[in-house]
Structure 1
Amino acid sequence: MNHPAELIVHNAHVHTVDDRRPRAEAVAVRDGRIVWVGDGDGWRDLAGPATEVVDARGRLLVPGIVDSHNHVRLGSDSACVQLAGAGDLPGIGRRIADWLRRNPGADWIEAEAFDYTAIPGGRMPTAADLDPYTGGRPAFVLSYDVHTAWLNTAALRRLGITADTRELAFGTVQKDPATGEPTGFLTDFAVRGLSRDGHRALRAAGVPWAHPDRQYGRLAASLDLAARYGITTVVEPQNSLDDLALYERAIAEGRLRSRLVAALFHPRGTTDAELAEFAAAARRHDGERFRVGPLKLYIDDVVEPHTAALLEPYAGHHSHRGETFYPAEEFAEVLARLDAAGFQAFVHATGDRGIRTVLDAVEHARRVNGPRDARHQVVHVECLDPADVPRFAELGVVACMQPRHCSPDIAGPGKDWAEAVGEHRWSKAWPMRSLRDAGAVLAFSSDWNVAEMDPLVGLYTAVTRQGLAGGEAWMPDETVTLAAALRGYTLGSAHANFLEDRLGSITPGKLGDLVLFSDDLFALEPKALLDARADLTVVGGEVVHRAG
């Protein structure tokens, strides 16, 4: 006779995300895998003296959340000035002043999460904006999306940035068109500053944020949050080979309680020798708890500072429509080469021209290599031309999307995203329902720390397209049902990462990854989703989080 289960959850509303048995009342996990899903008291036959038996009291039990795009390595840095919610320059100044009172001996002022809307007149920030609040100390400030960096005059001097500097290992220097002097604003930080060379350059320049111990602190804190929020698998989308040591440390110290898939960054110019190193790392790290393998690429940047690639010019501009990081033909050849070598690509694309360039490249790869189950991903899919909606399903491309990004209090009317694309393009914004109806696989995620990690925030936004305070929905025709949103956070994300045979649904034989919420989410009004929580997070039958 088989030995008893180690965990049984009964008297639950079990939403299995398994079309063969959508609902159940109880689940049993033995040896790390689901062994029984059923109704009534059948679970009693699997219980033994050492079995943990949880009476769910009607709460919702779902598969563990698979967060398909979560920057746990970037995290939120407690050593930085926190600028989220600072709505103007004086507000930023007050946050910095408070931080300086607590850290009078700091060599650098470091801050994160500034919002572009805090800068007056819809322009980008300058060193002159920052100087009155920072004195002679260098300041290094990251935007909320970590795609741009903002430096004061002292930091420009410390980093040796002059009128003759154009490209840095960690960003592209913006210049004043009248004087040619650096403004203090760096674009392309996500592409350059988060790369292996970018981090090394920042460390060499003495920027504390880039030190490995600071990185590990962010990682460890983010991993704790993931377990707390019911996230049983994290997909960390952008790492260098140097960063893998951080995860090895987390494993050794028992901090990696969720499973983790790490994608490696493939900047433009990546060599065959580097690809061989990537493949070797994937072979070395191929376990159930930690896996390395996909490659992260960029085709464009972000809409707010007008660096995403659009088909037509930005609102208010006659010709500027952003740039792609590769010419279309070059990118198609790069993707075909990776596809032929068996790599899966995660491609950041936000603008409609950027997304089309990626889809064209996948089509080219299939034409030259033959079709295969590659599951290449377009990540973000913020502004999608309707003509390209059906191509996701046709080409087997996954739409990796972050529902919270489409909230009107982040991107909607009056915000930089909506104003940059113009109202005539709002119907292209995050078309989740259109993609799902066209047969595309949706993989949902948080994009922490660009947005909140809590999947309940993403679920709320996916089903309402409202701000956290409620109010008018933005583009409500593109909402999805709660069941569809949960599938995006579970089976959709598992499929996106070749994990659907072991994760993503509550099915006998799959790994025992579960989350028990504080309520039956299906019985709640949408706004009440924000008041719910994960009461129990289970990874492989082991409880890794229990609400107090």
Structure 2
Amino acid sequence: MRIVSSLLALTFSLVAYTANAQSTLYFNFQGYTLTGTVGEDAQLKHFDGLVVKDGKVAATGDAEVLGKLFASDELARVDLQGKTVLPGIIDAHGHMLGLGENLMQVDLREAASEQDAVERVVAFAETENGEWVIGRGWNQENWQIRKFPTTASLDEFLTDRPVWLTRVDGHAGWANSKALELAGITANTVSPEGGEIIRDDNGQPTGVLIDNAMALVEQKLPQKDADYHRRALTAAFDHLASEGITGVHDAGVDATNLAVYQELAAAEAMPVRVYAMLSAMEPSLPELLAAGPITTDDDRLTVRSVKIYTDGALGSRGAALIEPYHDDPNNRGLLVTQPGAIEDLFELIIPYGFQINIHAIGDRANRIALDKFAAAYETVGGRNLRHRIEHAQVVHPDDLSRFADLDVIASMQPTHATSDKNMAEDRLGKARMRGAYAWQTFLQQGTIVAAGSDFPVELSNPFFGVHAAVTRQDRDNQPKGGWYAHEAMTLEQALRAFTLDAAYAAGQEQVLGSLEPGKWADFIVLDQDPFAVDSAKLWRANVLATYVAGEAVYQQSQQ
């Protein structure tokens, strides 16, 4: 671990900043930030004083020295009582609307079985009077009987109201018979391209729909108007601020969602910064691209990227693989967007100067994405746009180095590895694990890894992600020694992936991602020093306060 003391070499600009009534000196804490360039050349600096002026960092360094340099009767001083200060966490891949919806719907993440999930749904339905019963979070891989659920268990209790329950990864849904009826799904319904209607031995729909087949039900759900978006996003903002997240790369935003973001930004009602990726499935995408990138003066909202889906997810066997699934020899997964359509999207998006962030989980999907980037560089260009592959979860070993060759950022989610460890080998077999969840391999070859959580697929708490990145273990410290531990990150690498390198992945490293002079003063106060605790306890970090542009957007209530 490289920690460069800033007691002598203070990281501030005396020319640009002088103390006045708007300056605040934070002192008596242990502070850490990555500084300088991104990637492996960044340096981790330690400091115990921070001066904030007009929402930006004026200086970091030795608190006593800073107090003298910025001496003023009106210089506010805040004693942080020996706690720890880190740059605000940037989650490089989350779903804001999905998180807000999750907070308003039945949460099935902790369901231990199909029956347990049904009981939670029934209990929720008794308190919710909506037309539909909607929820998310079930995961059959966490059940003793690791099989997809069926309509029968829901129909036993809920027949008069349609029920729609999205799998934890968002790539499968579970419906009761009423929902299937409204969607017009019968034994004769053909699975759409890029999707699958799961059927029983008699050819009857079981109630589980994979990827593009989900739209058959979702198009029947109640309309999500602007007010719905506003309530969901507000709930998500509050939740994330309480967890120390000061910025989110929102992976897939439609026109309604974008309009609400712009409304909230204009009203100065965005406590967390959003780097929004336009959804490639948005019908008005060409018009939104033609309108050009969006960046508010306060950097609360930035829009200059597009999210494209290539395949589904590993848990629902929708991830597109080069060879068949190890536990399903007749299945190679699904392509949600066909290669030709992906190529068309590249040709549409890149000339407008928008970054492309392409979802790819399986090795076939990752290869297709890399091939399309390589081809685009030869035709429409765009190498300078910092394109990303979202998830980069299972990559063929032959393709790992292509990320570096093509300057493609790997946007990865550490908790996916610890959540998937009980099924990934079943899906892939041991041989394909060589290129799976390969964080350290990417880092060693110079690929920028931007870390996120993929909330609400995973829990949004960023310290669950830091812990998973460093230990390759779940929060029960399993498996012993870590799961494919050679791919673990160091703590410094993990912190960088959630701060400075995440900012780089959005083209924002000049204004966000570290506590350096001139950047926005986005920082958090923790009850523990991650560099001083056992790695097994990293996930227990408790956020005491979250600051965005120098103002507290969350403070833990005093007991």
Q: Same fold (TM over 0.5)?
A: yes
Secondary structure in 2 aligned to 1:308? coil
Could you report, residue by residue, the CA deviation over 1:190-247 in whole angstroms, capped at 9, with x for unpaired residues?
A: x975xxxx9xx857x3x34845444333221110112111111111111111212332
Equivalent-residue separation in structure 2 for 1:301 and 1:252 (angstroms):
35
Equivalent-residue separation in structure 2 for 1:379 and 1:160 (angstroms):
33
Greater shift, 340-349 or 41-50, is seen at 41-50
> Residue 70 of structure 1 aligns to which amino acid in structure 2?
G
Q: Report the counterpart of residue 6 of structure 2 in structure 1.
A: none
Per-residue deviation, 1:480 = 0.6
Secondary structure in 2 aligned to 1:292? strand
Q: Report the counterpart of residue 17 of structure 1 in structure 2.
A: 34
Q: Report the counterpart of residue 344 of structure 1 in structure 2.
A: 355
Of residues 454, 478, 483 in structure 1, which corresponds to 2:487? 478
* Aligned 8 A contact 2:108 2:117 in 1: yes
* Aligned 8 A contact 2:289 2:352 in 1: no
> Judging changes above 3 Å, is the alpha-carbon distance between structure 1 residues 117 and 108 closer, same or farther for their aligned structure 2 residues?
same
Equivalent-residue separation in structure 2 for 1:325 and 1:74 (angstroms):
19
Of residues 464, 467, 483 in structure 1, which corresponds to 2:471? 464
Greater shift, 432-441 or 224-233, is seen at 224-233
Per-residue deviation, 1:51 = 4.3
Secondary structure in 2 aligned to 1:59? strand
Of residues 19, 23, 32 in structure 2, which corresponds to 1:6? 23
Per-residue deviation, 1:446 = 1.4
Secondary structure in 2 aligned to 1:538? strand
Q: Report the counterpart of residue 537 of structure 1 in structure 2.
A: 546
> Judging changes above 3 Å, is the alpha-carbon distance between structure 1 residues 20 and 131 closer, same or farther for their aligned structure 2 residues?
closer
Per-residue deviation, 1:62 = 1.9
Secondary structure in 1 aligned to 2:308? strand
* Aligned 8 A contact 2:177 2:207 in 1: yes
Report whether the alignment pairs 1:518 with 2:527. Answer: yes
Report whether the alignment pairs 1:98 with 2:123. Answer: yes
Report whether the alignment pairs 1:439 with 2:446. Answer: yes
Equivalent-residue separation in structure 1 for 2:44 and 2:285 (angstroms):
45
Secondary structure in 2 aligned to 1:387? helix
Of residues 32, 36, 43 in structure 1, which corresponds to 2:59? 36
Equivalent-residue separation in structure 1 for 2:218 and 2:517 (angstroms):
48
Secondary structure in 1 aligned to 2:232? helix
Secondary structure in 1 aligned to 2:553? strand
* Aligned 8 A contact 1:224 1:255 in 2: no
Q: Report the counterpart of residue 236 of structure 1 in structure 2.
A: 250
Equivalent-residue separation in structure 2 for 1:13 and 1:78 (angstroms):
34
Equivalent-residue separation in structure 2 for 1:259 and 1:493 (angstroms):
13
Q: Report the counterpart of residue 165 of structure 2 in structure 1.
A: 141
Q: Report the counterpart of residue 257 of structure 1 in structure 2.
A: 271
> Judging changes above 3 Å, is the alpha-carbon distance between structure 1 residues 507 and 530 closer, same or farther for their aligned structure 2 residues?
same
Greater shift, 497-506 or 125-134, is seen at 125-134
Per-residue deviation, 1:360 = 1.3
Q: What TM-score, normalized by structure 2, do the two folds share?
A: 0.87
Q: What TM-score, normalized by structure 1, do the two folds share?
A: 0.89
Could you report, residue by residue, the CA deviation over 1:372-408 in whole angstroms, capped at 9, with x for unpaired residues?
A: 311111001111222222221221111101101110x
Equivalent-residue separation in structure 2 for 1:118 and 1:534 (angstroms):
29
Instruction: Give the number of the structure whose residues are more often strand, by fraction.
Output: 2
Q: Report the counterpart of residue 314 of structure 1 in structure 2.
A: 325
Could you report, residue by residue, the CA deviation over 1:105-142 in whole angstroms, capped at 9, with x for unpaired residues?
A: 44322221111226775443332242223233211111
* Aligned 8 A contact 1:87 1:117 in 2: no
Q: Report the counterpart of residue 11 of structure 2 in structure 1.
A: none
> Residue 34 of structure 1 aligns to which amino acid in structure 2?
V
Q: How does 1:46-195 map to 2 (within 5 A)?
A: 46=70, 48=72, 51-75=75-99, 76-103=101-128, 105-117=129-141, 122-166=146-190, 172=195, 174-176=197-199, 178-188=201-211, 193=215
Secondary structure in 2 aligned to 1:390? helix
Equivalent-residue separation in structure 1 for 2:44 and 2:366 (angstroms):
36
* Aligned 8 A contact 2:172 2:214 in 1: no
Secondary structure in 2 aligned to 1:22? strand
> Residue 188 of structure 1 aligns to which amino acid in structure 2?
D
Equivalent-residue separation in structure 1 for 2:381 and 2:278 (angstroms):
25
% identical equivalent positions: 29
> Judging changes above 3 Å, is the alpha-carbon distance between structure 1 residues 278 and 125 closer, same or farther for their aligned structure 2 residues?
farther
Per-residue deviation, 1:432 = 0.6
CA RMSD for the aligned pairs?
Answer: 2.7
Secondary structure in 1 aligned to 2:465? helix
Of residues 274, 284, 292 in structure 1, which corresponds to 2:285? 274
> Judging changes above 3 Å, is the alpha-carbon distance between structure 1 residues 212 and 64 closer, same or farther for their aligned structure 2 residues?
same
Q: Report the counterpart of residue 488 of structure 1 in structure 2.
A: 497
